[in-house]
A and B are shown apart, each in its own frame.
Chain A
Amino acid sequence: MLSDFFILMKQELVIMVIIFVLLLLKIGADMSNEKMMNLANGLLLLNLAAGFTGNQPGVLFNEMYVTNPLIVLEKNILNLGTLIISLQSFSWLKKHDHVPEFYVLLLCTLLGMFFMISSGNLILFYIGLELSSIPLATMANFDLAAKRSSEAAMKFIMSSAFASGLLLFGISLLYGATGTLTFSEMTALITGSPLHIFAFVLLLAGFAFKISVVPFHLWTADVYEGAPVAVTSWLSVVSKGSVLFVFVSVLYTVFKPIAGNWYNMLFLLSVVTILIGNLFAIRQNNIKRFLAFSSIAQIGFILVGITGSSQVSSASVVYFVLIYVFSNLAAFGVVALVSAVTGREQVSDYKGFYKTNPVLSWVLTIALFSLAGVPPTAGFFGKFFLLMAGAGKGNYIPITIAALNMILSFYYYLRIVKAVFMDANEQPIERLTIPAYSKLAMFICVAGILITGLAGFVYDYIYALSFGF
Chain B
Amino acid sequence: MDISQVLFYALSAMALGSAIMVVISRNPVHSVLWLIITFFAISGHYILMNAQFLGIVNLIVYAGAIMVLFLFVIMLMNLNAETEPQKNKWLKLAGVVAGGCLLLVLVAALKQAEVKGKVAMLETGDIGLIRNLGKALFTDFVVPFEISSILFLSAMVGAVVIGKK
Contact = CB atoms under 8 A, between A and B. Distances in A.
A111 B143 contact: no
B154 A105 contact: yes
B161 interface: yes
A271 interface: no
Given A138-B159, A138-B161, A195-B109, A104 B141 contact: no
Nearest to B110: A195
Contacts of B147: 111-112, 115, 124, 127-128, 131
Interface string A121-143: 00110011011001101110110
B47 interface: no
A62 B150 contact: no
Contacts of B143: 60-61, 64-65, 115, 124
Interface in B140-165: 140-144, 147-148, 150-151, 153-155, 157-159, 161-162
A123 B144 contact: yes
Interface majority SS on B: helix, strand, loop or mixed?
Answer: helix
A108 B150 contact: yes
A101 interface: yes
Contacts of B155: 134-135, 138
B141 A123 contact: yes
Contact of A105 (B106, B110, B144, B158): B158
Given A61-B140, A64-B143, A195 B150 contact: no
B113 interface: yes
Residue from the set B113, B139, B151, B154 with the largest chain A CB neighbour count within 10 Å: B154
B140 A138 contact: no
A104 B108 contact: no
Given A194-B109, A195-B112, A98 B161 contact: yes
B163 to A, nearest CB: 10
Interface in A116-164: 123-124, 127-128, 130-131, 134-135, 137-139, 141-142, 144, 153
B77 interface: no
Interface string B89-112: 000000000000000011011101
Contacts of A53: none
B121 interface: no
B119 interface: no
Given A138-B159, A141-B162, A195-B109, A62 B140 contact: yes
B162 A194 contact: no
A391 B131 CA distance: 55
A448 B113 CA distance: 51
A358 interface: no
B115 interface: yes
A220 B140 CA distance: 37
B137 to A, nearest CB: 11
B102 to A, nearest CB: 10
B38 to A, nearest CB: 16
Contacts of B106: 198
Given A64-B143, A115-B147, A101 B115 contact: no
B35 to A, nearest CB: 16
Nearest to A63: B140
A105 B148 contact: no
A176 to B, nearest CB: 7
Interface in B107-143: 108-110, 112-113, 115, 139-143
A127 B154 contact: no
Contacts of A123: 141, 144
Contacts of A65: 143
Contacts of B144: 64, 123-124, 127
A61 B108 contact: no
Contact of A131 (B141, B154, B161, B162): B154
A97 B115 CA distance: 56
A142 B158 CA distance: 9
B109 A131 contact: no
A105 B106 CA distance: 38
A176 B115 contact: yes
Contacts of B142: 61
Contacts of B140: 61-62, 64
Contacts of A197: 109
Residue from the set B109, B140, B143 with the largest chain A CB neighbour count within 10 Å: B143
A105 B157 contact: yes
Interface string A1-43: 0000000000000001001000100000000000000000000
A111 B150 contact: yes
B141 A134 contact: no
Interface string A70-110: 00000000000000000000000000001001001100110
Contacts of A130: 151
A193 interface: yes
A64 B112 contact: no
A153 B5 CA distance: 45
Closest 9 CB pairs of A and B: A138-B158, A108-B154, A195-B113, A194-B109, A135-B154, A198-B109, A195-B109, A127-B144, A131-B151
Interface of B: 105-106, 108-110, 112-113, 115, 139-144, 147-148, 150-151, 153-155, 157-159, 161-162
16 contacts: A64-B141, A104-B154, A108-B151, A108-B153, A109-B154, A134-B155, A137-B158, A138-B158, A138-B159, A139-B158, A142-B161, A144-B161, A153-B162, A177-B113, A194-B109, A194-B113
Interface of A: 16, 19, 23, 60-62, 64-65, 98, 101, 104-105, 108-109, 111-112, 115, 123-124, 127-128, 130-131, 134-135, 137-139, 141-142, 144, 153, 176-177, 193-195, 197-198
Given A101-B157, A104-B154, A111-B150, 13 more contacts: A16-B150, A61-B139, A109-B154, A112-B147, A128-B147, A131-B150, A131-B151, A131-B154, A135-B154, A144-B162, A153-B162, A194-B109, A194-B113
